[in-house]
Chains A and B, each alone.
Chain A
Amino acid sequence: MSDRTDGQIVEEALDDIDNYKYIVERYEQRLLLYIKRILYVNNEDAQDILQEVFIKAYRNLNSYNPKYKFSNWIYRITHNEAVNFLRKNKNLRKNIPNDPNIDIFETVPSHIDIEKESIEESRKDEILSVISKLDKKYRDVLILRYLEEKDYNEISEILHISSGTVGSLISRGKVKLKSLLEKYGKD
């Protein structure tokens, strides 16, 4: 199954539900990580959300247009499900600290280069912690761009906003992030 395209597996899953497991297996790790990154939830909650994502994706499988990348389609469902989860669990937002004077900055160097095209794996958690201090609109694009390593068009498809908007959000988000790091990061 590893050599099959997503589109082919989708067609096979529509014929036989058992083939859907190949989609799940192909995406579960990536999406689990993505959920944790955007929601800051524990593994158990992330797995529950992920299950809902795959159920919803299966129900809407016929809406997938093979013209576009399947990964963007399922990322979009994941993003929507995460937003729903946040709506239902408003208290969760309180778990994302907004006070910039929190401990995380004591470990994050002020010179982290977010503008590097790919961020070292070891740096991703630090970046994520700092990104968590930004507004959601900036968090969403920066996580997709620098942690999920999606390009502008992919982010546009996932968040359903124009590429231009993606560009300006990333640009403004980077400025805000940089200023947070310079102000509070470790010298």
Chain B
Amino acid sequence: MKIKSSQTVAGFTLSEMLVSLSLSSIVLAAAITSGVTLQKSFAAVDNYFSTQMQQIRIIDYLNRDVKRGLVVTTSVDLQSVTMSVPKYIIQAGDPEAIADPEAIGMARTPTVAYTTSGWQVNYSPSTTTVVYSISGNSILRTENGVITTIASSTDQLVPKSTDVELANTEYANTSVTFMPIFSSSGSVASRSGTSLYATAYLRNKRRG
């Protein structure tokens, strides 16, 4: 007799089942949605910080080259920077390297020359050309034809540089922005809010 009675206790009515199923579906859906949203949010935040680090890296690369640059020129759209830097290190293919392969990677000794523009310090008869440019989602640094990807993100990183020439010096203003992926609106504000600015002066500005 007890068995019958216990079976009655253990059972669920149809309405109970429907209610419980509905509730559990809602809870499960909410949990899954929350999980997915959390994951998306985490990915977005992770990506945001990752891209922010790349902003810093772009700025650091640019500033390092601008500081030692002899001439810095920005493109009309401000998204490409070309600069000449002293050829301080002997590289493969250079005359010194051909004469002595062990010289590759070594620093050059400076030479001094008097020109119509005054005294000039040179490390090599030629200079190294460095170009910063955008290619798709990547920011490229090209040194004498050798391309290095210095930053890459689906967040649409955009560096903009302006070279400002003064009477006695020159400096380059750079701002790097990106569009965070969790910004669905794509508004201008969401990009401008990520701006990172930097100013670097040319220490070697070549006059004349």
Chain B binds chain A: no
A residues at B contact (CB < 8 Å): none
B residues at A contact (CB < 8 Å): none
